[in-house]
Amino acid sequence: MSRLMTIPRKSRKSLLVWLFVVLILPAPSRAATKVIIDTDPGVDDALAVVLAFRSPDLEILGLTTIFGNVETELATQNALRLVEMSGKTIPVAQGAVKPLYMKKLDPPDFVHGKDGFGNVDLPPPTGRPIAQPAAAFIVETVMAHPGEVTLVVLGPMTNIALALALEPELPQYVKAVVAMGGVLEVMGNVSPVASANILGDPHAADIVLGTDWNVTLVPGDTTRQVKITDDFLARIRDHGGSTGRFLHDISLFYRDFYRSVGATDGFYAHDPTAMAFVIDPSLFRTEERAVRVVTEGMAIGEVIAATERHYSEPGPWFGIPKASITSEVDSQGVLDLLEKTLTETIGKVAR
């Protein structure tokens, strides 16, 4: 006699129902994370935004634009171009055109090209941004989805700081903030201690990173461990459909800049790495730090991240809200996620 038949009939029926549910019915799918992407496209922004568009784990509620790699108006045009390439209907809200207090830095057209997309000379987008400014769009969208929206910040943090000023209770309603920028132990790319995204508006960065909410900073120490090679780009071109070919083509100018400064084994995947954290944080390790940003002097833009030794004892760091900072990354895991999403998904959609 089988062991199943020795079980009382009532219990046996319950066991069979349980087995049917576990083994036959499909597992419930995980709800996609709602995100607003604040971006200054930019070559690596384009890679990150397309990754987000194609990820089944993300629901894009909108793009907001900011100065940085290009001027804000051009960032808006490029964001519209990316939306139109995706075939999706996603609102684009234009953001701030200058930092909160300091003079705006010149766009690094020697890195991303004058058009932000490697000088590939795309036609103008057919769409237009919504009338609502970026900060107001962020506030309205977050408040409409309390506790559900993650803000992904790929450029200077001005729009987020303005949203906080517009709605001081915003931190209670945001699910998370993930921002790319800053350096801790590696050299900055615009000064010995500062990265472009932070120096672009250090006052805004100090506000955002010093606010008491669920914020994670993905610094250059992490993103510089993830490099995109020519072979990687060729696979995206060959297996990623028309959008893959676009990403390949705009990346060549960016790659050549990195070669000119001695990086011959690939270029850093700054923004795609931050987006990968949003999609799969298990590829990273984080540390809790108390974070402030220097807002004046020769070290302006430096991110200072105090450890527990400093923030747990009475002193200037005591009581400062904590932020998470990525400290380790599975570089190959991030590249695998990027390639799989850009080839398997784009290849099916954009031929």
Digits of tens for pLDDT over the chain (351 positions)? 445 455 555 555 554 444 454 455 444 457 899 999 999 999 999 999 999 999 999 999 999 999 999 999 999 999 999 999 999 999 999 999 999 999 999 999 999 999 999 999 999 999 999 999 999 999 999 999 999 999 999 999 999 999 999 999 999 999 999 999 999 999 999 999 999 999 999 999 999 999 999 999 999 999 999 999 999 999 999 999 999 999 999 999 999 999 999 988 899 999 999 999 999 999 999 999 999 999 999 999 999 999 998 998 888 899 899 999 999 999 999 999 999 999 975 434 333
Buried b (16+ CB within 10 A) or exposed e, 247-265: bbebbbbbbebbeeeeeee
Q: Is residue 175 part of a domain?
A: yes
Catalytic residue flag (residue 270)? yes
Residue 112 appears among annotated catalytic residues: no
DSSP 213-251: S-EEEE-HHHHTT-EE-HHHHHHHHHHSHHHHHHHHHHH
CB 241 within 8 A of CB 341: no
Q: Please tell me the predicted confidence (pLDDT) of residue 9.
A: 58
Spot the catalytic one: 38, 40, 44, 206: 40
- pLDDT at position 348 is 42
Residue 316 lies in a domain: yes
Q: Is 153 helix (H, G, I), strand (E, B) or coil?
A: strand
d(C-alpha 339, C-alpha 237), whole Å: 11
Q: Check residue 11 and give its pLDDT.
A: 55
In terms of residue numbers, what domain contains 202? 33-349
Q: Where are the beta strands (DSSP E) in 114-206?
A: 149-153, 174-180
Catalytic residue among 112, 203, 248, 270: 270
Q: Establish if 59 belongs to a structural domain.
A: yes
d(CA 348, CA 258): 31
Give yes or no for a contact between 232 and 186, defined as CB atoms under 8 angstroms apart: no
In a domain, 26, yes or no: no
Distance CA 271, CA 88 (A): 21
**Is 229 part of a structural domain of the chain?**
yes
- Whether 223 contacts 274, CB under 8 Å: yes
What is d(CA 335, CA 269) in angstroms, rounded to the nearest whole number? Answer: 9
Close Cβ partners of 321 (under 8 Å, ≥ 6 residues apart): 210, 211, 212, 213, 290
Tell me whether residue 153 is in a domain. Answer: yes
The residue with tokens 């954009």 is: 350
Beta-bridge partners for 268: 227
| Count of domains for the chain | 1
Looking at the domain assignment, is residue 19 inside a domain? no
- List the CATH number of the domain containing 51: 3.90.245.10
Q: Which residue has the tokens 């939306």?
A: 83
Residue 125 near residue 80 (C-beta atoms within 8 A): yes
Instruction: Indicate whether 117 belongs to any domain.
Output: yes
